[in-house]
Amino acid sequence: MARTVSIAACNFAVRPVASFDEFADHVRGLLDGAQGADLVLFPELFTVELFTTFADWQNTPATELTLIDKYTGDYKSLFESEAKERSQFIVAGSHLMEVDGRYLNIGHVYGPEGLVFEHVKTHIFPAESNWHTEEGESVDAFDLPFARVGLNICYEAEIPECSTTLVEQGAEIILCPSYTFTEYGFWRVRHCAQARAIENQVYFVHCCTGGQPGGTLPNGWAQSSILSPCDVPWTPSGIVAQADANKEMVVRGEVDLDKLYENRENGAAPTFRDRRRRRDLYVSWPSHLEGAQATR
């Protein structure tokens, strides 16, 4: 019997809201569109929508985005209850929150029994330094009832080692909440996401924050997608499903995990095997890098 996983990725458009309850209704509307999926994803820092609940938010500098930590408890309670009531596993995107005096960009995964996993973004995009965000220290795969998965938050998709270490730990699906402010940034992450799927022969879900909320908040460029290796079991493009660009919607697709293992054995491009078969060649990279830095 094939091991299949039904995935729904929410192409989220940030908009001004008056309260946390209005934000929660926005979330629930998208969850309604994801009914029946095994796994539902929200994007990176989609909780910036909560910034619009503060007085004079249009004139408050985006460097004060850490104000949304005020809603951390409400955010966690919302997704804990929704995952339980809907009997679904929900990647609650990521949220900017204070932990032991440090502001961290943390991805959360909830299931019917509560919090399943947290991942602190390990590679902070330079623009995030404006929000005083610090980096996490681990990249770990974890098990859901239907698949072994791992998180790469946005810029982490552009760092190949972040995906490779998850696949080395057995990850079959890489889940990527993302928030890019320009079309340039979107395509950097999207092209890298497709490359990670090809080079590791895994599924990769790129889930995006979009919208043009106004004020000092950055716009988002969004076209969420579910991606596969580019080989015969799938489409030539490697796109299992994708949203319309910059349109709020839920994109859905089903992936067959067994096809990954078959493709690693019999595919036209056995990258998973060959990258590991020649790994003795790659150990020279650190020494070459140090030499290059020393000559600058």
Q: Determine, yes or no, domain membership for 114.
A: yes
Q: Determine, yes or no, domain membership for 63.
A: yes
Model pTM greater than 0.85?
A: yes
Q: Determine, yes or no, domain membership for 100.
A: yes
Q: Determine, yes or no, domain membership for 101.
A: yes
> Which whole-number Å values give the CA distances from 11 to 127, 205, 286, in the listed order?
22, 12, 38
Token pair recorded at residue 177: 């909440």
pLDDT digits (tens, 9 = 90+) for 122-147: 999 998 888 889 999 999 999 999 99
Q: What is the mean pLDDT of residues 215-226?
A: 96
pLDDT confidence bin for 290, thresholds 50/70/90 = low
Tell me which residue range forms the domain holding 126.
4-269
Q: Determine, yes or no, domain membership for 290.
A: no
Determine the pLDDT at residue 244.
98
162: CATH: 3.60.110.10
Q: Determine, yes or no, domain membership for 291.
A: no
**Greatest alpha-carbon span in the chain:** 59
Which residues belong to the active site? Answer: 44, 121, 154
Number of domains in the chain: 1
Find the length of the chain: 296
Q: Determine, yes or no, domain membership for 173.
A: yes
pLDDT confidence bin for 289, thresholds 50/70/90 = low
pLDDT digits (tens, 9 = 90+) for 168-187: 999 999 999 999 999 999 99
